[in-house]
Amino acid sequence: MRKLIPIFILTFLLYLAVSYISTPITNFDAQSYSQIGALTLKGINIYPDPAISRHPYFPFFLYLEAGALLISQLIHIPQILILKCFFSLFHLASIYIVFHLSKKSLRTTWIYALNPISLLIIAFHGQFDIIPLFLILFSIFLLKQKKYASIMFYLGIAFTLKTWPILFIIPFLKRTPRKYWLWFIFPPILTIIVYSLFFQASLFSLVRVFAVYQGVGGIWGFGKVLSLISTNKIVLFVSKIVFVGGLFFYSMKQKKKLIVEELFEIMFLFFIFTPGFGLQWFLWLIPFFFLTKKPYMYIFMAAITICLCVSYLTWFPMTTVTTQMAYLALLLLWPVLILYYGLFFLFPKS
């Protein structure tokens, strides 16, 4: 543990600096944190609107948004800075897990801790995907200890925070006795019951929001191709159902010894076929790159970093980088991702 202290200190100081410097640069997510936090503090139900666009998740993270806003009002520090610092703590926690899962490799841990992709998404963008990502990594860690009830419960919390991580549940279910599976549904059901009682929200309004969530459509890969063929909402919804069903079916048929390998391949398939997209989703790939040691991982991560930088430059005032340039960068990355999958997942020995 002492070996990790310098990593923790340097990483947190770096994340704090980037979080502070980027505080004045607003974005849709930061605005959403503020709006949802304010409505929650006032006891106003956010489902289905504005949750459908501002908080398309189970009613759990909104309490953190409200708590951060309340602290912000008391100590006069921006809510987004408080949240970014909180998210950074989970990055530190993920560093600890990566250290153990990488057989205590300090080199791997150092590079993961300071990788630019996590830094940009957590400290600059201010996205909270690092929390459910940590919970999934922690669940992998707990598999070795056979703490199955805890694994299912933590995965349930991850699903409650962000609904799409349920796509990665199958590899855990295959390694967990069925008698523990019900632990997974406790966190989401509990949050629905509590929110419905205190905010007078109907079950239908909550489920409606969860069902339609798919990220931003028409800007990435398969979703872009699909948008050129049809913009009909029914077509988009059917494609989402087929995508989710296909990913579940493939997950059940997978036969890999290491769960990190299995999860990493599912994530790549997710990126190839997802009809929706979010820049923050790139964060999920990073620890698995370091844990699986795929060839040319640093080149691929550099490509992701370039895409993020181009996209985030559009947020700056007086910038010469346009949204179309960001979309073009993402469009070029998609075939590279497909090629990488083919070379190092489908035909790893060739």
**Closest Cα to residue 40, out of 207, 194, 164?**
194
pLDDT digits (tens, 9 = 90+) for 244-293: 899 999 999 888 889 999 999 999 999 999 888 899 999 999 999 999 99
Does residue 309 surpass a pLDDT of 60? Answer: yes
pTM: 0.95
Question: In whole angstroms, how far apart are CA 15 and each of 19, 27, 86, 92, 299?
Answer: 6, 18, 11, 10, 23
Does residue 114 surpass a pLDDT of 70? Answer: yes
> What is the percentage of the chain residues whose pLDDT exceeds 70?
99
Average pLDDT over residues 201-223: 83
Rounded Cα–Cα distance for residues 237 and 345 (Å) = 29
Rounded Cα–Cα distance for residues 43 and 36 (Å) = 11
Rounded Cα–Cα distance for residues 35 and 29 (Å) = 10
**Closest Cα to residue 341, out of 256, 266, 268, 249?**
268
Cα angle, residue 263 at apex, residues 64 and 295 outer, rounded to 5° = 115
pLDDT of residue 349: 61
Average pLDDT over residues 80-103: 98
CA contacts within 13 A on the Cβ side of 142: 17
Does residue 79 surpass a pLDDT of 90? Answer: yes
pLDDT of residue 132: 97
- The pLDDT confidence band at residue 308, using thresholds 50, 70 and 90, is very high
pLDDT digits (tens, 9 = 90+) for 317-345: 888 999 999 999 999 999 999 999 999 98
Does residue 10 surpass a pLDDT of 70? Answer: yes
Which residues neighbour 141 within 8 Å (Cβ) at sequence distance 6 or greater?
Answer: 97, 100, 101
Q: Which two tokens stand for residue 198?
A: 């205190």
